[in-house]
Amino acid sequence: MKKVTIQGLMLLSLFFISWLGLSQVDWVDLLEIKESSDKLEQKLGDQLWEIYSREADEASNDTILHALDTLMNSICEANNINEEKIKLHVLQKDEVNAFAIPDGHLVIYTGLIKSVDKQEELAGIICHELAHIELNHVMKKLAKELGVSMLISVTTGNSVNGVAEIAKLLSSSAFDRSLEREADLQAADYLTNANIDPEHLANFLFKMSLDGGDYTEYLSWISTHPDSKERAEYIISATGNEEIENSPILADQTWQSIKNTLK
Amino acid sequence: MINIKDFDYKPGEHEAEKASNSYLMSLIAVIAGLPLPIVNLLATLIFFMGNSKGTYFVRWHCTQALISQFSLFFANTAGFWWTISIVFGDGQVSNPYIAYMITIFLFNLTEFVATIYSSIQIRKGIHLEWWFYGGITQLICKKRT
């Protein structure tokens, strides 16, 4: 019995020593795993952006572009996010929608900017999409729903309709509940750090969850982000009783000018 | 790590064939190309139960084949779920993960080679005792009086 126990312990030790020993090698670097996954994401992001940019024109109004850049940069700065890796695109489309695609592309439709009442609500949506990017939700969703092999075959040109399918998937279907919740809570943090009350994001969600309004037929963002009322509630409860001094990023005049331009 | 030993008696042709098959059962999943670690263990377990009333030689080798599957089963299951958590969850490909996968691959390979070798030798009626697993088998598989 003693002999068997010793042999068992030796076998177990051999296993763990082999594991520990092999762990000392930097396999991730050696097998260039990070580089290949970055390359795949970059290729996919470029291909997808090409499709979206064909569907609608990019907004060319300087006031809108400059204001959104300012919003984005202020949020990134307040949260130590590298703004250079975020590629913001504003498309002229009536749909109320915004979404993230691989490689840090963030697409916002002018319909969404039109539908928000306050700049803080827009900042909230930007924070939510930024959270999806920062938490790597986009690639996780694609890997889960399509599989890594499909993504590779799409980027290598072996799947003709693949990119179009992915484009549709990203702009018109929801992330799963846990990822949405994670992005909402992260967005609330981003907003707090940028001195914006997360309540504004909650208000927007709550408003959109109600029926009616002028934009009902274009509400893609809400249809891809279900259970808006519940989400509004947990954003509020996550913020708790914390007093946040709300300081808008854009000057009132700039915000009004954007709204007037889009009327 | 595998010792040739004298058995209590000289097994017959039919016994050697059955005992040899118990090792082949553990290779079923590999042959079928299935990555699920449970398949190996289930196949061996079913064969073990089917031969629980067999002769001492057959029972002894069915037991050794089954026990040898257990440790790999746990190691492979951990690897399987770790992979699932990376593909579908929050896990990331890291150095410990790759090292673990290489380790279980090496252990599986060793077991695979040992299994084929044992199956061939036992088919010839030669009694083999594996390091550690042979000792446990000796402790739990007793000759019926």
Asked if B98 and A27 come within 8 Å (Cβ–Cβ), the reply is yes
Asked if B95 and A4 come within 8 Å (Cβ–Cβ), the reply is no
pLDDT reading at A215 higher than 70: no
Q: How far apart are CA A71 and CA A50, in angstroms?
A: 25
Q: What is the per-residue pLDDT for B31?
A: 63
Asked if A23 and B106 come within 8 Å (Cβ–Cβ), the reply is no
The mean-pLDDT minimum among A27-36, A149-158, A229-238, B5-14 falls in A149-158
Are residue A143 and residue A244 in the same domain, yes or no?
A: yes
Say if strands A105-109 and A98-101 run parallel, antiparallel, or are unpaired: antiparallel
Are residue A122 and residue A13 in the same domain, yes or no?
A: no
Average pLDDT for residues A131-154, to the nearest whole number? 78
Residue closest to A95 by CA, chosen among A231, A223, A230, A232 = A223
Q: Packing angle between helix B37-50 and helix B13-25, nearest 10 degrees?
A: 160
Structure tokens at B112: 């695979």
- The count of domains in chain B is 1
Residue B63 lies in a domain: yes
Identify the residue among A1, A6, A22 best suited for mutation to test binding to B, counting B beta carbons within 10 A and taking the highest. A22
What distances in angstroms separate CA A210 from CA A92, A223, A229, one per listed residue? 25, 12, 8
Q: What is the per-residue pLDDT for B33?
A: 47
Pick B139's closest partner by Cβ from A1, A27, A28: A1
pLDDT reading at A214 higher than 60: no
Are residue A165 and residue A62 in the same domain, yes or no?
A: yes
Are residue A127 and residue A223 in the same domain, yes or no?
A: yes
Are residue A238 and residue A250 in the same domain, yes or no?
A: yes
Asked if B99 and A3 come within 8 Å (Cβ–Cβ), the reply is no
**B4 phi and psi, to 5 degrees?**
-85, 125
Are residue A69 and residue A7 in the same domain, yes or no?
A: no
Mean pLDDT of chain B: 81
Are residue A145 and residue A91 in the same domain, yes or no?
A: yes
Domain that holds residue B8: 2-140
Are residue A102 and residue A74 in the same domain, yes or no?
A: yes
**A75 confidence band (pLDDT: 50, 70, 90):** very high
pLDDT tens-digit map of A1-40 = 788 899 889 999 999 999 999 999 998 888 888 787 788 8
Average pLDDT for residues B12-40, to the nearest whole number? 72
Which amino acid is residue A109, in one-letter code?
A: Y
Select the more confidently predicted residue: A244 or A250: A250
Q: Which residues of B touch A28 (CB under 8 A)?
A: 93-95, 98
- The count of domains in chain A is 2
**B131 confidence band (pLDDT: 50, 70, 90):** confident
Residue B145 lies in a domain: no
CA A126 to chain centre: 8
CA B108 to chain centre: 10
Q: What is the per-residue pLDDT for A149?
A: 64
Mean pLDDT of chain A: 83
**A43 confidence band (pLDDT: 50, 70, 90):** confident
Average pLDDT for residues A215-237, to the nearest whole number? 68
CA dihedral A223, A224, A230, A236 (to 10 degrees): -120
Select the more confidently predicted residue: A52 or B99: B99
A91: enclosing H helix or E strand: strand A87-91
Residue B68 lies in a domain: yes
Domain that holds residue A160: 33-262
Q: What is the per-residue pLDDT for A108?
A: 93
Are residue A154 and residue A111 in the same domain, yes or no?
A: yes
Average pLDDT for residues B103-108, to the nearest whole number? 90
**A128 confidence band (pLDDT: 50, 70, 90):** very high
pLDDT tens-digit map of B58-98 = 888 888 888 888 778 888 888 888 888 887 766 778 899 99
Least Cα separation, residue B99 to chain A (angstroms) = 5
